[in-house]
């Protein structure tokens, strides 16, 4: 019997693949096992269980999102940065809806995700710094921004916007709304 040569990372890879075409709800150890060509119990040699696997996938995805967003705002500031951030965010979610949905809702609470989560938060905070926002005002602004992008993309990817009007148009308007809500201090 040749060994499969798995590793924790490889199992997470497989899990991401499973999520990509079955959604987070389709993430089962059985599916991951099938995908890696191994019997389900063997996965326990690399992962303590389904719970940990979910956490690991979450961390992986958060890092991926952080990379994308960082790249998108690189070299930009203020409205330019916010616009780029919002487009990149939506772009990621649309490209990988399953992965996005696999992010646990409260990463900052879980020690295993706190690190990745706070790095992602830092990207948002950095953009707010460009407006001279710090501390509480920056926190509120980031929350607003997160609410907007998460809300829109969550509804969009779950097919919650029933009607036919262009979603791009809606999103453009949403970006305007956010920009208008940020401090207009002269540059």
Partner DNA sequence: CCACAAAGCTATGCGCATTAGCCAAGAATG
Partner DNA sequence: CATTCTTGGCTAATGCGCATAGCTTTGTGG
For binding to a copy of itself (CB under 8 A), which residues are involved? 105-109, 117, 121, 136, 139-141, 143-144, 146-152, 154-155, 158-163, 165, 167, 169-170, 173-174, 176-178, 180-181
The rounded distance, in Å, linking the Cα atoms of 42 and 170 is 47
Q: Are 43 and 29 in contact (CB under 8 A)?
A: yes
Which of 14, 15, 19, 29 lies at the binding interface for DNA (CB under 7 A)?
29
Residue 151 CB, nearest approach to DNA (Å): 29
- Quick check: 9 binds DNA (CB under 7 A)? no
- Residue 113 contact partner, candidates DNA, a copy of itself, none, CB within 5 to 8 A by sort of partner: none
- Quick check: 30 binds DNA (CB under 7 A)? yes
- Quick check: 46 binds DNA (CB under 7 A)? yes
- Residue ranges binding DNA (CB under 7 A): 1-7, 28-31, 38-42, 44-46, 48-51
């Amino acid at each position: 019997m040749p060994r499969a040569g798995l590793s924790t990372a490889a199992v997470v890879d497989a899990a991401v693949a499973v999520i990509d075409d079955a959604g987070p709800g389709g993430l089962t150890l059985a599916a991951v096992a099938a995908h890696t060509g191994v019997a389900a119990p063997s996965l326990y040699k690399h992962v303590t269980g389904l719970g940990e696997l979910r956490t690991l996938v979450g961390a992986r995805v958060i890092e991926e999102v952080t990379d994308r967003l960082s790249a998108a705002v690189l070299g930009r500031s203020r409205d330019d940065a916010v616009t780029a951030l919002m487009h990149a965010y939506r772009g990621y979610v649309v490209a990988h809806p399953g992965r996005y949905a696999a992010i646990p809702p409260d990463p900052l609470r879980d020690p295993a995700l706190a690190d990745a989560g706070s790095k992602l938060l830092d990207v948002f905070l950095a953009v707010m710094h460009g407006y001279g926002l710090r501390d509480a005002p920056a926190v509120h602004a980031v929350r607003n921004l997160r609410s907007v992008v998460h809300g829109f993309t969550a509804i969009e990817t779950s097919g919650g916007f029933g009607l036919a009007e262009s979603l791009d148009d809606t999103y453009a308007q949403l970006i305007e709304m956010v920009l208008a809500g940020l401090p207009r201090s002269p540059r």
